[in-house]
Chain A
Amino acid sequence: MGYLILAAVGLVAAYLAIWLLVAGFLLFYLPGLVVAVPATVGLGVLLAVVTAVRAVVAGGPVITPEMVADGKAGLPELRGNNPFGRDRAWPSYLVAQGRTDLRRVWTETVKAVRRGWKWISDFFDNKDFAWVPGLLLACPLWLGVSVGALAGGAAIVLAGGLVLFAIWVPWALLAGFLRGGDQLVRRLRGASPASCPHCHHVSPLPVFRCAGCGQTHRDIRPGRLGGVWRRCDCGRRLPTTVLRMALRTTPECPRCGKSMRAGTAALTEIRVPVFGPVSAGKTRLVYAGIMALRDALAATGGRLDFVDDESELAFENGSAIITGGTDTVKTPAGEVPGALTVRLTTGRRRALLHLFDAAGEIYVDREENSGLEFLDHAQGMVFVVDPFSVPWVRDQLGEDVGLIARANPASEDPERVYHVTAQRLREYRVDTRKRRLAVTVVKADLLAGLPLASDLSPARCKEWLNQAGLDNLVLAAERDFGEVRYFVTASVSGIPAGDARSPGNPLGWLAGLTSAPVPGVPDGEKETV
């Protein structure tokens, strides 16, 4: 009987407990959750905002110039085979650091949510039956916070991404415009590619050094390392276009690392090799030609000056020889000379004229002339013909040993030198049809008054060369080159500017090709010696 009473009491108690549970669940717990969970979602959004602000203010991992140089900045691979990689400079915020910051906002939000779950797990796991309030209260509430935080974090990242994209679009357009404009202006101006006067390499992208730390910047153009300005590793601000940078600092050759001439990559560049046999008078023509150009420019209000000490010193020595009427020193064979550079200025226009004068021996040696890289990138060439080396002239001079000794004739046949050089240009796939050639008969001062030169003038120079037996040379030159002009010059001082024999005429004609500011060179067709 007692058992029956006990069982009845137990049943009543169980019924009561179940009733209390169901009533509590439906009357208090569920309605409470219906109100509390949306509120926790709002708290989650607040958590995401606070986390994002903290992440942005505190700043996270920074994409440094070291990472850029090491290829660890997450920037795309450089196109082409570039052994040097990217320059050591701060990348634009929009292309690297912005992405990193947004990623950090997201990861910090996720971390905050995870920390909450971990705390709940640790706190309620350590006590008996503690999982019940954990499961019934903490989990649903933190679930609301998590949903709010993740949704808020995603919205913040999306909004931040849109903001950065909105800034990036005009930035990219401006950088692209600057990059294209820089390239276009340099090409139109004839400033690209830039010439190295030492190793004769030409490069569309010269190297610049930071004036602050000396760090090299191999590609200064607008891009991921800066749209309008670039920030060097040392913190110094550098302009991004080659033109702007070249006006501030002298570029360096990307191949040999030596300094190019001041103004290189910003001013028009004209590369003119002067070639011919040994003792033809190439060096004399170069110095006398520069003197004549200087006088001609001065007469028209322009100016010829030097941008490097090396060229200036060489010219001072050379002009002293020309003025003194003495012989020039033999150009050393076996070494490829550096360029002799002059800056031509007329009004606001400026140009650099690089003259290359290698020893005659190098031109006739097939192996040695392969090193004459300046031939490949010349806009025009001067071929020096020594009339006293032409057998027809020598035959007519006969016994005039004194004159021949004074002329110190070239030892090589001009035709052979021309053909070996032309062959070298062909082998190196130089499109000579796009180049101009100034065939220059020098030593006209020594020919003056001789019957054999009575009809030698720039206008009749071609016929004179044909008559002198150099018809094959004339034929080959006109076949090989896009335009050939003939000059007769006397590499001596005292020839007035504008004279038909002026040694500045061939240089002036070739310099004028690339819109260099050279005053009117007399038309060879009209003048006579």
Chain B
Amino acid sequence: MKRSVPPAYVAHRTVLLAVLLVLFAAAGYGLSQAIPELWQGMSSAAQTVRNWWTEMGWHLF
């Protein structure tokens, strides 16, 4: 039988959840602010990899 927990448990869990959500929101906001820069970094890294191929100069014919 599942027992109902004391109100203090619910209160503590709510606080914990609220803090987690605040942290998540803060992290999400920080990430959204950083996405253009990150995207630029990732694109640049991808391009660097592609450049290896070009620099290799290994053409089919």
Residues on A facing B (Cβ under 8 Å): 16, 19, 22-23, 26-27, 30-32, 34-35, 38, 42, 45, 49, 52-53, 56-57, 59, 62, 64, 90, 92-94, 97-98, 101, 156, 159-160, 163-164, 167, 231, 235
Contact = CB atoms under 8 A, between A and B. Distances in A.
Contacts of B9: 62, 90, 93, 97
Contacts of B58: 19, 22-23
A180 to B, nearest CB: 23
Given A62-B3, A62-B9, 17 more contacts: A19-B60, A22-B53, A26-B49, A26-B53, A31-B49, A34-B46, A38-B38, A52-B20, A59-B13, A62-B2, A90-B8, A93-B9, A94-B12, A101-B16, A159-B20, A163-B15, A164-B16
Nearest to A229: B8
Nearest to A66: B3
Interface of B: 2-3, 5-6, 8-9, 12-13, 15-17, 19-21, 23-24, 27, 31, 38, 42-43, 45-47, 49-50, 52-53, 56, 58, 60
Nearest to A235: B6
A481 B17 CA distance: 65
A231 B8 contact: yes
Contacts of A93: 8-9, 12-13
Nearest 5 Cβ contacts at the A-B interface: A31-B46, A26-B53, A93-B12, A231-B6, A34-B46
Contacts of A163: 15-16, 19
B30 to A, nearest CB: 12
10 contacts: A16-B60, A26-B52, A26-B53, A27-B50, A31-B45, A34-B45, A49-B20, A59-B13, A93-B8, A93-B9
Contacts of A235: 6
A19 B58 CA distance: 8
A35 B6 contact: no
A66 to B, nearest CB: 9
A274 B53 CA distance: 107
Interface centre among B2, B19, B21, B38 (most CB of A within 10 A): B19
Contact of B49 (A23, A30, A101, A160): A30
A56 B52 contact: no
Contacts of A90: 5-6, 8-9
Contacts of B2: 62
B20 A156 contact: yes
A52 B20 CA distance: 9
B13 to A, nearest CB: 5
A173 to B, nearest CB: 17
A273 to B, nearest CB: 46
Nearest to A65: B3
A88 to B, nearest CB: 13
Contacts of B31: 42
A235 B5 CA distance: 9
A34 B52 CA distance: 14
